[in-house]
């Protein structure tokens, strides 16, 4: 069995990038100039997490294929991992939006948006009540299709699932689907497919040398930096390709790397990967709250804006860690009735019905 702590590091970095990008957006929306480079590259954390999701779900679920009972087991673990914290955050945000008359402004629209968001049903151009929840709509769609593939032989199921996701994504990009059928038909689905096939390669025993891993990771980072320098809106339809290829390189470089002992910095980012889901879900709501209670106390000059940016980052990290420890893990234990193992992800024994939501395996979104 092989640990894949590099994926945890990648999740931690990706989560930090998204939070930094949203913190800069928060300042831009409030017309507060931040004397930092454009942090658009942080948005690519979403694409990294979609590839990671495809990889880790198959990697952890490989022994479940060919078993009809696996569908229920998989679904129960995914719901236990994703739904409680998301629903709780949605409820808090709905109360916050109603109290401060935030979009969608009227109570009826908030109630409708809350129900659709809780059911992971895309509406209004795939924008749920909680903005960051749009990624979970894609995740739950992927999980549903993956669960339906579990009763079949693994490689054939993965091939069929991949073909279906690619075909659906292409049809959506080319505008071949009606409005109701195109909500999740996006090139972003290609990123899940990339993750699936990285997992297949990993499960087959292929490993990269340290030079090969560094080359893939370095190439992915360089490509992201170059892409972020150009107009993002011009390739939105093909984001799953333009952002997805560098994300694939990063995930492949980390997943196929030969193992080595973790240093202190790596362990820090692995811990950050542990809290990445809580961090992603709560930081947007936290930013809105801080803009009302903390921002008025900061001066609008350069130092004041930089200090407020630092507050957003520190507060998000602190809140993510606290919620992970105090809410996310206890809720998962309560829903599954078993203790979480504190070890890193390992390839399950062949034929074993594994716990699909180990703390270092299951939180694969941003």
Tell me the pLDDT tens digit for each residue of 32-83. Answer: 877 778 888 899 999 999 999 999 999 999 999 999 999 999 999 999 999 9
pLDDT of the residue at 104: 66
Task: Give the CA dihedral 103, 47, 135, 183, nearest 10 degrees.
Answer: 90
pLDDT value at residue 356: 33
> Where does the chain show beta strands of DSSP type E?
none
Would 346 be classed as within a structural domain? no
Range of the domain at 192: 5-336
Residue 46 lies in a domain: yes
Ranges of the chain whose pLDDT falls below 50: 1, 339-366
Is residue 303 one of the residues assigned to a domain?
Answer: yes
How many domains, the chain? Answer: 1
- What is the spatial distance between Cα 322 and Cα 320, in angstroms, rounded to a whole number? 6
Q: Answer yes or no: is 352 within a domain.
A: no
249 assigned to some structural domain: yes
Can you give the pLDDT at residue 1? 38
Q: Which residues contact 366 (CB under 8 A, 6 or more apart)?
A: 11, 14, 15, 18, 45, 46, 48, 49, 135, 276, 280
Q: Residue 342 falls within a domain, yes or no?
A: no
Tell me whether residue 82 is in a domain.
yes
Amino acid 261: pLDDT? 60
| Residue 108 covered by a domain | yes
Count helices and strands (H / E) in the chain: 14, 0
The CA-based angle 277-237-113, given to 5 degrees, is 50
Q: What is the pLDDT of residues 31-40, one digit of tens each?
A: 787 777 888 8
């Amino acid at each position: 069995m092989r640990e894949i702590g590099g994926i945890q590091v990648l999740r931690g970095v990706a989560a930090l990038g998204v939070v930094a990008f949203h913190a800069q957006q928060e300042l831009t929306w409030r017309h507060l100039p931040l004397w930092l480079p454009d942090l658009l590259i942080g948005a690519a954390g979403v694409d990294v997490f979609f590839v990671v999701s495809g990889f880790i779900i198959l990697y952890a679920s490989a022994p479940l294929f060919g078993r009809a009972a696996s569908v229920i087991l998989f679904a129960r673990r995914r719901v236990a991992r994703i739904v409680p914290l998301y629903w709780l955050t949605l409820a808090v945000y709905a109360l916050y939006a109603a109290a401060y008359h935030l979009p969608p402004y009227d109570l009826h629209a908030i109630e409708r948006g809350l129900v659709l968001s809780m059911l992971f049903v895309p509406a209004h151009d795939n924008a749920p009540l909680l903005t960051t929840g749009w990624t979970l709509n894609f995740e739950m769609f992927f999980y549903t299709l993956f669960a339906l593939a579990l009763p079949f032989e693994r490689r054939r199921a993965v091939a069929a699932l991949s073909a279906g996701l690619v075909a659906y994504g292409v049809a959506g990009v080319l505008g071949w689907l009606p409005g109701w059928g195109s909500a999740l038909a996006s090139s972003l689905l290609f990123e899940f497919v990339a993750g699936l096939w990285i997992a297949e390669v990993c499960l087959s025993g292929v490993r990269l040398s340290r030079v090969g891993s560094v080359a893939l990771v370095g190439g992915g980072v360089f490509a992201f930096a170059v892409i972020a320098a150009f107009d993002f809106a011009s390739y939105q339809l093909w984001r799953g390709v333009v952002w997805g290829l560098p994300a694939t390189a990063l995930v492949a470089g980390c997943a196929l790397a030969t193992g080595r002992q973790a240093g202190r910095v790596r362990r820090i980012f692995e811990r950050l990967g542990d809290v990445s889901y809580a961090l992603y879900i709560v930081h947007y709501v936290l930013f809105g709250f801080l803009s009302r209670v903390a921002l008025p106390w900061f001066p609008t000059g350069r130092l004041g804006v930089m200090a407020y940016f630092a507050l957003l980052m520190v507060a998000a990290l602190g809140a993510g860690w606290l919620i992970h420890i105090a809410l996310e893990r206890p809720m998962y234990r309560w829903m599954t009735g078993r203790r979480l193992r504190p070890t890193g992800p390992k390839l399950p024994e062949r034929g074993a019905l594994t716990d699909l939501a180990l703390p270092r395996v299951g939180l694969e979104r941003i």
